[in-house]
Amino acid sequence: MKNDNFGKKVVGLIRDNTVPLMFILICAVCIPISGFSLPYLINEIVTRMGRNIFLILALLIPIMSGMGLNFGMTLGAMAGEIALIFVSDWQIWGIPGVVLAMILSIPISVLLGAFCGKILNMAKGREMITSYILSFFMNGIYQLLVLYIMGSLIPIKHFSIKLPRGYGIRNTVSLLNMRQCLDNLLAVRVGGVKIPVLTFIIIGVLCLFIVWFRRTKLGQDMRAVGQDMGVARDAGINVERTRIISIVMSTVLAGFGMIIYLQNMGNIATYSSHSQIGMFCIAALLVGGASVDRASIGNVFLGVVLFHTMFIVAPKAGAVITGDSMIGEYFRVFVSYAVITLALIMYETKKRKHKSLVGQQLQQAQKEADAHE
């Protein structure tokens, strides 16, 4: 009996964590094949953790308020990029540059987030597809701003970032002078692995903030709105406003996250940096075992480690197996999309799990009544 229970628990645990387990398996197979050394791998993963975790944490708040995976975090990424473009035009480098960019990104993020929240309130129940399309729409506006308005209407002085034609921003904006300035400050080396302590401290502070935030009135309201908008509204919670705040917070955090990400990379790919970021962050979060309606900080950390291990080793492993390096490249792209697809399907089917249980109960009740007679 006890064994039986234990067995059931294990089966349940496996079923609930199918995706992470699958990834552990993929990584376990690919790591030895790829032939990367352990220190190299660890070094890469630590770097990527510092680079990505902040961005992924930005996804947690909309999930809490029941708005699903925020494909609109791209908007925050755009805000971060715009802020960085300005800061590098003004030639403010290093830590002050990063801090200024963060401050500058806040009003842009708030504006974009509020817009996104308003739109999503008009599309309740289909937030994800709407925020997804919204990110494309905003990409058009972003291009308009960066390619045509910057340099013509908004003054851009520095020739290194301006297109030769006199307006518009170059395809790449170099951030060489602030490259890894956060990561290098207070960095320590442990056995050949560079640990960007300051970045991790910032991430830690954000984690603490999120834990604390869950315990605030606003956090409680968001959870309530996320689970049942009708009940929350009846209890006097301003549902629309709460949802907008949640998206605004996510957008602002995504803006910060993007700045951290880009200072690590050392340059901005002006027209493409943000376009895939939402997809990769969402995939990483889901790989960590999160679902559309439930995600924790633990999911974020596990997801980053697993997803990026796969990302590092897949091309090499693919090349070793098939002799073609592109296979691995495509494989990791496929896996990213497949994970999101799978998570969405699991979420939707769970929502619709039929409760033919009631029918069985009614039949049972008839039988019991017969037995009494």
Partner 1 sequence: MANANTPLLEMRNIKKDFFGNQVLSDINLTLREGEVLGLCGENGAGKSTLMKILFGMDVIRETGGYEGDILISGEKVKFNTPFDALAAGIGMVHQEFSLIPGFTATENILLNREPKKKNVISEVFGDRLNTLDYNEMTGRAEAAIDKMGFSIDKNMVISEMPVGHKQFTEIARELSKEQLKLLILDEPTAVLTEKEAEALLASIRSMSKQGIAVIFITHRLHEILAVCDKVVVMRDGLVVADVAAKDTTVEEISKWMVGRSVDTTAKAEVRDNEGAKIAMSIKRLWVDMPGETVRDVSLDIREGEILGIGGLAGQGKLGIPNGIMGLYEAGGTVIFQGQEIPLNSPRKCLDASLAFVSEDRRGVGLLLDETLEWNVAFPAMQVQNKFLKNYLGGLVKWRDEKAIREVTERYIDELAIKCTGSKQKARELSGGNQQKVCLAKAFALEPKFLFVSEPTRGIDVGAKALVLEALRRFNRDSGVTVVMISSELEELRSICDRIAIVSGGKIAGIRPASDPSEDFGMLMVSMVK
Partner 2 sequence: MNETLDRTNLTLRDRLKAAVESFGLPRLIIAGFLLLLFIAAPFVGSDFWTQISNTLNRFSWNAVMVLAMVPMIHSGCGLNFGLPLGIISGLLGATLSIEFGFTGPLSFLMAIVISTPISLILGAGYGWLLNKIKGGEMMIATYVGFSSVSFMCMMWLLLPYHSPTMVWGFSGKGLRTTISLEGFYDKVLANFLQINIGNLSIPTGTLLFFALLAFGMWAFLHTKTGTAMTAVGSNPTFAKAAGVNVDKMRLLSVMLSTWLAAIGILVYEQGFGFIQLYMAPFYMALPAVSAILIGGASVNKASITNVIIGTILFQGIVTMTPTVMNNMIHMDMSEVIRVVASQGMILYALTRKTEGAK
Q: Which residues bind partner 1 (CB under 8 A)?
A: 212, 215-218, 220-221, 223-224, 227-228, 230-232, 234-237, 356, 358-359, 362-363, 365-366, 369
The one of partner 1, partner 2, none whose footprint includes residue 358, by CB under 5 to 8 A per kind, is: partner 1
C-beta of 209 vs 337, nearer to partner 2: 337
For 339, the 3-state DSSP assignment is: helix
| Cβ-contact 77, 253 below 8 angstroms | no
The one of partner 2, partner 1, none whose footprint includes residue 215, by CB under 5 to 8 A per kind, is: partner 1
Q: Under the criterion CB under 8 A, does residue 128 sit at the interface with partner 2?
A: yes
Pick from 116, 111, 127, 114: nearest CA to 229: 127
Residues 333 to 352 in contact with partner 2, rule: CB under 8 A: 333-334, 336-338, 340-341, 344-345, 347-349, 351-352
C-beta of 91 vs 322, nearer to partner 2: 322
Select the residue interacting with partner 2 from 74, 130, 291, 299 (CB under 8 A): 130
Number of residues that bind partner 2 (CB under 8 A): 40
> Which residue is associated with the tokens 């496929």?
334
d(CA 255, CA 261): 10
| Nearest distance, CB of residue 150 and partner 1, angstroms | 32
C-beta of 30 vs 101, nearer to partner 2: 30
Amino acid at position 310, single letter: M
Q: Measure the N-to-C terminal CA separation of the chain; round to a whole number of Å.
A: 34
| Nearest distance, CB of residue 200 and partner 2, angstroms | 32
The one of partner 1, partner 2, none whose footprint includes residue 143, by CB under 5 to 8 A per kind, is: partner 2
> Which residue is associated with the tokens 């045509």?
148
| Nearest distance, CB of residue 226 and partner 1, angstroms | 8
For 364, the 3-state DSSP assignment is: helix
d(CA 71, CA 249): 14
Site string for partner 2, 294-333 (x = CB under 8 A): ----------------------------x-x-xx--xx-x
How buried is 133 (Cβ within 10 angstroms: 0-12 exposed, 13-18 middle, 19+ buried)? middle
Q: Which two tokens stand for residue 273?
A: 């940096």
DSSP code string of 48-108: HHHHHHHHHHTTHHHHHTT--S-TTHHHHHHHHHHHHHHHHHTT--HHHHHHHHHHHHHHH
Residues 140 to 179 in contact with partner 2, rule: CB under 8 A: 140-141, 143-144, 147-148
C-beta of 53 vs 283, nearer to partner 2: 283
Pick from 284, 350, 278: nearest CA to 78: 278
The C-alpha angle 140, 143, 147, rounded to 5 degrees, equals 155
| Nearest distance, CB of residue 107 and partner 1, angstroms | 16
Q: Which two tokens stand for residue 369?
A: 């009544």
| Nearest distance, CB of residue 219 and partner 1, angstroms | 8
| Nearest distance, CB of residue 290 and partner 1, angstroms | 16
Q: Which two tokens stand for residue 132?
A: 């997804």
| Nearest distance, CB of residue 235 and partner 1, angstroms | 4
User: Which range, of 24-32, 76-84, 124-132, 308-316, touches partner 2 by CB under 8 A?
Assistant: 124-132
The one of partner 1, partner 2, none whose footprint includes residue 218, by CB under 5 to 8 A per kind, is: partner 1
C-beta of 189 vs 355, nearer to partner 1: 355
Pick from 243, 314, 242, 297: nearest CA to 36: 314
Q: How far is CA 346 from CA 24, 287, 354, in A?
A: 19, 13, 14
Q: Under the criterion CB under 8 A, does residue 93 sit at the interface with partner 2?
A: no
**Contact set with partner 2 (CB under 8 A):** 119, 122-123, 125-126, 128-130, 132-134, 136-137, 139-141, 143-144, 147-148, 322, 324, 326-327, 330-331, 333-334, 336-338, 340-341, 344-345, 347-349, 351-352
